[in-house]
Structure formats: C-alpha cells, structure tokens
C-alpha cells in the first residue's frame, strides 16, 4: 500500500470564464463522457490517452495518460466527489522518468462558479503530494526533494495553465449541446 505524505509537491490553479449559465454546466457529465479525441485536443501534444472505468467497489474513475514536463504520467483518478459544479478526483499516479518509475498522489479539482446569470468561471486546481514510494525513489537516485518539487511545480503549472481554458471551453460546448438536446 502506498502512503501519501502530508507535504505539497506542487500546486496550481487556473481559471477561465465561459458564456454559459452555471445551471447548464455539468462537470461530472463532461468528465465521465469525455471522448478521447476531445481530451487530446484539450492540451496537445501533452494529452496522450483517456478513458473511464470504475473501481472494484463501483466508484467512477477517469484514466488519463499525459506528458508533464519530462515525465510520462498515468493518472488513475477516482471520484471522491462528482457533481455538476464540483468534482474532486484522487489518484495514485504512476510517473515514468529517465530514472525509472515512481508514484505521486494527485488531487484534481474541477470547479464551476457563477459569475452572473449568463457566465461561469471554471477553475482547474491540481495538487500533488509525495508518496513514500516517491521519497524512496529520490533517495535511491540521489535526487533532492526541493529540486524535484521545483521541477514538478514548473512543469505542472505550465501544463495546467495550458489545459484549463481548453477544458473550460470543452465543458461549455458539452453544456450547450446538452441544452440543445433537451429543446429538440
């Protein structure tokens, strides 16, 4: 069993506003019906693959494969909470580096907030925590935690900055398409 440590490895949050009222937004619907091709468009060329599945006990999962900095990351996101305006996804993520494979904990929060009756602010918040496996990996390879954290912060922040507006616009398109289906 992997142990998550009570330290922040990296953290970033970016927001983007869309011209869709919050009552039309459904982040969970978007996340768990997201076509892989749309996921790839949301942060090309970093996004490599995506899919949905469940845990053995039936909780919803989103599997994302992405390049973040120099690491190939396989995110095994499990829904801690999944609703129309807030999703909290929790992953013990596999990170493949030039030195080998390790694991970090990633919390991905997808948040929608009303700006007014016609606009919504989407925030994409990503927080990574080291695991015992990660700390052992650093020690085994003679790597410094602060250096690794700085590299993760730079790469993760850049990735989040680029994907947030694309996710927001994709969520908005899904909301408008669903609203059009209801009217038809």
68-127 tens-digit pLDDT:
999 999 999 999 999 999 999 999 999 999 999 999 999 999 999 999 999 999 999 999
Q: Is the pTM of this model over 0.85?
A: yes
Name the 3-class secondary structure at 41.
Answer: helix
What is the Cα–Cα distance from 27 to 34, expressed in whole angstroms?
10
- Report if residue 5 sits inside a domain: no
Residue 162 is predicted with a pLDDT of 98
Residues 102, 165, 174, 30: what is their CA dihedral angle, to the nearest 10 degrees?
Answer: 20
Tell me, yes or no, whether 98 lies in a domain.
yes
Q: What is the C-alpha separation between 25 and 85, in angstroms, rounded?
A: 7
Q: Give residue 127's domain range.
A: 10-183
Q: How many domains would you assign to the chain?
A: 1
| Confidence at 184, pLDDT banded by 50, 70, 90 | low
């Amino acid at each position: 069993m992997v142990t998550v440590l009570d330290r922040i490895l990296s953290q970033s949050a970016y927001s983007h506003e869309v011209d869709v009222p919050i009552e039309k937004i459904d982040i969970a619907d978007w996340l768990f019906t997201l076509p892989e091709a749309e996921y790839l468009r949301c942060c090309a060329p970093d996004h490599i693959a995506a899919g949905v599945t469940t845990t053995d006990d039936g909780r919803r999962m989103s599997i994302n494969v992405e390049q973040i900095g120099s690491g190939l990351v396989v995110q095994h996101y499990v829904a801690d909470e999944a609703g129309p305006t807030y999703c909290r996804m929790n992953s013990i993520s596999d990170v493949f580096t030039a030195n080998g494979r390790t694991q970090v904990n990633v919390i991905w929060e997808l948040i929608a907030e009303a700006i007014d009756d016609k606009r919504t602010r989407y925030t994409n918040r990503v927080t990574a925590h080291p695991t015992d496996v990660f700390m052992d990996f650093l020690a085994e390879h003679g790597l410094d935690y602060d250096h690794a954290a700085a590299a993760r912060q730079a790469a993760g922040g850049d990735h989040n900055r680029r994907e947030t507006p694309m996710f927001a616009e994709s969520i908005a398109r899904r909301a408008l398409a669903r609203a059009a289906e209801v009217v038809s």
